[in-house]
Amino acid sequence: MGEEEAKGGNIRRRRIRITSVRNRLLDPDNLCVKYIIDALRHTKVIQDDTTAHIEVYIKQEKVKTRKEEKTIIEVE
């Protein structure tokens, strides 16, 4: 239980946007954002990875070359 919950306050829900920028788009089930969200939790960027604590938005963008590929992670 977080400090905010113990004091009876509201949990601050974080918005996480993950954008996969790829030369070849993946099937949605192959994006595997679980590892990214777990890493955010382990590094204490987010308190917890439950739906009470986060909202996750995932999208893909296509680029022309592999050199342009990247993953963008935004946390609000």
Region of 44 please: left (phi>0), alpha (psi -120 to 50) or beta.
Answer: left
Q: Other CB atoms closer than 10 Å to residue 46's CB: what's the count?
A: 20
Q: How far apart are CA 38 and CA 33, in angstroms?
A: 9
Name the token pair of 60.
């893909």
What's the pLDDT tens digit per position in 2-31?
A: 444 445 566 789 999 999 999 999 998 888
Does 2 or 63 have the greater pLDDT score? Answer: 63
Residue 6 vs residue 66, higher pLDDT: 66
pTM of the model: 0.80
Predicted local distance difference test score (pLDDT) of residue 31: 87
Residue 39 has a pLDDT of 96
